[in-house]
Amino acid sequence: MVAAVDPDCVEYGCTHPHVSLDEWALMWMRGLEPREIARLCGVNSWRVDQAIAVRVRRDPTMPGRRLKRHLQPAPATLAQRQEFKQKLAEYRDWLQRHGREPREHGENRHERALYGWLSRQRAADRDATLELANAAALDAIGRWRRPALGHLKADHFDTRLEQFRRYVAAAGRLPTRRPGASEDERALAVWLQGLRAGDRAIWLTPEREAALTTVHPGWRGSSRP
- The domains of the chain are located at 7-69, 76-139, 150-215
**What is the average pLDDT across 206-219?**
89
Helix axes 78-98, 109-126, angle to 10 degrees: 120
Contact at 8 Å (CB) between 101 and 95? yes
Give the pLDDT confidence of 27-76 residue by residue, as tens digits. Answer: 888 888 887 888 888 887 778 888 888 888 888 888 888 876 555 556 67
| Closest to 27 in 3D by CA, of 39, 14, 44 | 39
φ, ψ of residue 219 to 5 degrees: the values are -60, -25
Residue 17: what pLDDT? 45
pTM over 0.85: no
Is pLDDT at 5 greater than 70 in this prediction? no
Is pLDDT at 89 greater than 90 in this prediction? yes
Distance CA(197)–CA(209), nearest Å, equals 13
The counts of H helices and E strands in the chain are: 10, 0
Residue type (1 letter), 111: E
DSSP helix, strand, coil percent of the chain (3-state; round to 5): 60, 0, 40
Give the pLDDT confidence of 152-197 residue by residue, as tens digits. Answer: 455 577 888 999 999 999 999 999 988 888 888 988 888 888 777 6
The end-to-end CA distance of the chain, in Å, is: 40
**What is the average pLDDT across 212-222?**
88
Torsion sign across C-alpha atoms 73, 74, 75, 76: negative
Give the pLDDT confidence of 130-160 residue by residue, as tens digits. Answer: 887 888 888 888 778 765 444 445 557 788 8
Average pLDDT value for the chain: 77
φ, ψ of residue 194 to 5 degrees: the values are -65, -40
Contact at 8 Å (CB) between 196 and 190? no
| Phi-psi group of 129: left, alpha or beta (phi > 0 → left; psi -120 to 50 → alpha; rest → beta) | alpha
Q: SS3 for 225?
A: coil
